[in-house]
Amino acid sequence: MALEYMEAVVGFMILMYIFETYLDVRQHAALKLPTLTKPLVGVISREKFEKSRAYSIDKSCFHFVHEAVSILMDICILYFGVLPWFWKISGEFLVYVSVNPENEILHTLAFLAGFMIWSQVTDLPFSLYSTFVIEARHGFNKQTIWLFFMDMLKEICLSIILGPPIVAAVIVIVQKGGPHLAIYLWGFMFFLSIVMMTIYPILIAPLFNKFTPLPDGELKEKIENLASSLKFPLKKLFVIDGSTRSSHSNAYMYGFFKNKRIVLYDTLIQQCKNDEEVVAVIAHELGHWKLNHTMYTFIAVQVLTFLQFGGYTLVRNSKDLFKSFGFDTQPVLIGLIIFQHTVIPLQRLVSFGLNLLSRSFEFQADAFAKKIGYLKALRAGLVKLQEENLSSMNTDPWYSTYHYSHPPLVERLAALDESDKKAD
């Protein structure tokens, strides 16, 4: 009886792997098509299509291998009792260094430290191959092996600095939370998310990239005029040196209330044909702000987080659940890990729902940019970014519906054309 929980989780993991691999196979077949989908013929150059096709196929093949190894390791960890064994070993390590293993916070930190080392070691070959073989082969990787390992070291240091106090707080809240545990956990995570959104762009992101003010000029003037016309409280405009690591391009905004900042990747400025295309991309991002997409998404995530913690409180004291995964005790962290595995079906549905919401927001933001006069520039910018990033030109509809948070280019262009026809 006790084993049924674990077997059900492993069984669903296998079913999900089979289903998602089926979608991957469909997508791989679409990527191998030798011709562009009709709406993109004459829009995307043949040269860019061939480069995109080769890049996408390489990434797809790599994905098959990575996912197969990952699911095999995850199943082995659960089915062969690696979690309880490692929990026991981490306790014995604490005894060895003369630390009381009954202290759940220290025991949990020792457990997490071991698993962090394990995950770094097992994922390193895939990260190296993806960065220095696939990305380099297709002209995207710009970082040296030294910079790669420096970034990894910085991430480990951040985990060591930020992880322990967060873990300790969660354990104390669960131990002391009582009947209102879900509310306390959600309140803490809400506070933590606000803090992280505040300090990440100011303290953490600059550890990895250099942020410099956008130089005075026509581009800066156009963006400031656009922001002003929309009453967007723009305080600073930055350019990030994304080209030190990759040729991929992006733009984003951050900040609370009247203190907004916009960040442009230097690669975005380099790749777009003219300033108007860059401004059109910014107009799309400002559309998200004007239409409150960021706020709606944040609220949705907070509601889901609260519901998730509510579900956790219902099962956290289930001895049978812990026993099914090989535990005689009920550590807080292990309870959270087990709960995450037991709600995988709901997580997949929620992720799918959020993707649908995100795609709807992308269409709306495109329509907003078109409404304020950037239709031609936005179309050109979207095509340019698709070409320069060698994004997949042919996509399987089932795969894109399930996985993509952004609609494929052909759908975005079709939606812009349709809205333009209606306007006429």
The CB-side HSE value for 251 (13 A sphere, CA atoms) comes to 29
Predicted local confidence at residue 271, as pLDDT: 79
Tell me whether residue 288 is annotated as binding: yes
Query: Alpha helix locations (H) across 316-343?
Result: 319-324, 332-342
Average pLDDT over residues 234-248: 82
Looking at the chain, the whole-number percentage of residues with pLDDT higher than 70 is 98
Reported as a pLDDT band with limits 50, 70 and 90, residue 139 is confident
Average pLDDT over residues 309-313: 90
- Comparing 16 with 272, the larger pLDDT belongs to 16
- Are residues 213 and 236 in contact, defined by beta-carbon separation less than 8 angstroms? yes
Reported as a pLDDT band with limits 50, 70 and 90, residue 90 is very high
Predicted local confidence at residue 1, as pLDDT: 43
Q: Is the pLDDT of residue 418 over 80?
A: no
Q: What is the C-alpha to C-alpha distance for residues 404 and 333, in angstroms, rounded to an integer?
A: 31
With vertex at residue 182, the alpha carbon angle to CA 180 and CA 187, rounded to the nearest 5 degrees, is 100
Give pLDDT tens digits for 279-307: 999 999 999 999 999 889 989 999 999 99
Average pLDDT over residues 390-403: 91
Predicted local confidence at residue 369, as pLDDT: 93
Average pLDDT over residues 348-359: 91
Reported as a pLDDT band with limits 50, 70 and 90, residue 191 is very high
Give pLDDT tens digits for 323-347: 989 898 899 999 999 998 888 888 8
Reported as a pLDDT band with limits 50, 70 and 90, residue 263 is confident
User: Considering the entire predicted model, what is its pTM?
Assistant: 0.87
Helix (H, G, I), strand (E, B) or coil at 270: helix
Helix (H, G, I), strand (E, B) or coil at 186: helix
Tell me whether residue 50 is annotated as binding: no
Tell me whether residue 388 is annotated as binding: no
- Are residues 419 and 363 in contact, defined by beta-carbon separation less than 8 angstroms? no
Name 254's Cβ contacts closer than 8 Å, sequence gap at least 6. 197, 201, 260, 261, 263
Reported as a pLDDT band with limits 50, 70 and 90, residue 53 is very high
Active-site residues: which are they? 285, 366
Predicted local confidence at residue 299, as pLDDT: 92
**Measured between alpha carbons, how far is residue 86 from residues 79, 115, 120, 321, 327 in Å?**
14, 9, 16, 18, 11
Q: Is the pLDDT of residue 8 over 70?
A: yes
Largest CA distance in the chain: 78
* Helix H or strand E segment including 253: strand 251-254
Reported as a pLDDT band with limits 50, 70 and 90, residue 424 is very low
Average pLDDT over residues 163-190: 92
* Helix H or strand E segment including 369: helix 344-369
Q: Is the pLDDT of residue 276 over 80?
A: yes
Q: What is the C-alpha to C-alpha distance for residues 251 and 228, in angstroms, rounded to an integer?
A: 18
Reported as a pLDDT band with limits 50, 70 and 90, residue 419 is low
Q: Which of 110-124, 214-228, 248-262, 351-365 is the least confident region? A: 248-262
Q: What is the C-alpha to C-alpha distance for residues 424 and 422, in angstroms, rounded to an integer?
A: 5
Average pLDDT over residues 189-198: 90
Q: Is the pLDDT of residue 131 over 90?
A: yes
Tally of CB atoms within 10 A around 12: 15
With vertex at residue 82, the alpha carbon angle to CA 78 and CA 85, rounded to the nearest 5 degrees, is 140
